[in-house]
Amino acid sequence: MVSDSTLEALGGRGAPTPAFGHDALVVCDNLVRIYQTGSVEVQALQGLDLLVDAGEMIALVGASGSGKSTLLALLSAMDAPTAGRARVGRWDLMAMSSRDRVAYRQQMVGVVWQQTSRNLLPYLTARQNVTTPMTFTRRRRRSARAGELLDLLGVAHVADRMPREMSGGEQQRVAIATALANEPQLLLADEPTGELDTTTSQEVFDALRTANREAGTTVVVVTHDPSVSAQVERTVAIRDGRTSSEVLRRDADGDVTHEEYAVMDRAGRVQVPREYREALELTRRVRIALEGDHVSVRPDGSPR
Ligand code: ADP
Ligand code: MG
């Protein structure tokens, strides 16, 4: 049993404010995913908070093993969270029947995986791949709609080719078209350019941006490519299964600026970057003070 005052200390859940992220499309609130293999427990997500607004395109970055694929598996309803809260649109990912999962994957999300071979059926042409999920489109419309999507993503020329007759970048762009077939509100891509060279990666990334701008799809893309931050409005870094920092790119009077933010969780916890901790020898206990318009953090031994 947790008392109200403990809940208050854990982030003021008792306060009469709107629910965390009530107007966001994607809400992850203190999300936990623990993998259990035999006696070994891996905490892949350790209380991750993330909000994504409808219409946004964000990049998710982080070291290998930090929990990025785990998060995408949860958001695509391929996997279920251990604890916390996760909502996408009207779908509560914590309480989904297997029928809900199928409907969610058909209607709400489109997914593109890193392995090109995992995205497309090898014995169908590009156009056939794109029409396959279209159970909500009238039969006579399907082929035309597939053509429009392939055209939008710059791969109309491969419409009648099999995946093995396309380059890796073409396959990934066809995969994006296939993911968009049912007009999902959310497009998830897990390192979609991981197997591609730089030039081809840019084409695939441009296709994701087209999906975001032209089709209005909200896009969450996991990437290793640091240059991607310059191309999206928001880059969220995941460290040890938590969101640790965000880079916002703002266009003010045509100027492109990058600003890096630390993320404060709902309990008020902020991760101080390692360089800062080392520079000032900040360890277990620190002095924290309100200084007018900012908050200072000092080593324990420093004078007040
Ligand atoms: P990333 O995509 O950022 O590289 P993952 O989400 O794949 O990270 O993995 C996060 C952690 O969870 C890693 O320690 C990984 O070994 C572990 N993990 C991922 N999937 C499983 C699984 N099916 N069973 C056990 N551990 C897993
Ligand atoms: Mg991964």
* C-alpha of residue 74 to centroid of ligand 1, in Å: 12
What pairing do the DSSP bridges indicate for beta strands 255-262 and 242-252?
antiparallel
Mutate to test the pocket of ligand 1, among 36, 37, 40, 70 (most ligand atoms within 8 A of CB): 70
Please report which ligand is nearest the Cα atom of 35. 1
* Strands in 38-176 per DSSP E: 40-52, 57-61, 83-88, 91-92, 109-112
Q: CA 206 → CA 101, 117, 209, 282, distances in Å?
A: 29, 21, 5, 42
Ligand 1 atom nearest to 72, measured from its CA: 6
Model pLDDT, residue 266: 72
Q: Which pTM value belongs to this model?
A: 0.84
Q: Are 75 and 93 in contact (CB under 8 A)?
A: yes
SS3 91: strand
Would you state the structure tokens that stand for residue 172, as one six-digit string? Answer: 């990934």
Nearest to 184 by CA among 54, 24, 23, 27: 54
Cα–Cα dist 193/205, whole Å = 8
**Residues 6 or more apart in contact with residue 90 via CB below 8 angstroms:** none
Model pLDDT, residue 252: 56
Domains and CATH numbers, the chain: 4-271 (3.40.50.300), 275-304 (no CATH)
pLDDT, tens digit (0-9, with 9 covering 90-100), for 216-256:
999 999 987 777 777 888 999 898 888 877 777 766 554 55
pLDDT, tens digit (0-9, with 9 covering 90-100), for 93-126:
999 999 999 999 999 999 999 988 899 999 999 9
pLDDT, tens digit (0-9, with 9 covering 90-100), for 77-88:
999 999 999 999
**C-alpha dihedral (63, 66, 68, 74), degrees to nearest 10:** 170
The lowest-confidence range among 15-19, 182-186, 198-202, 270-274 is 15-19
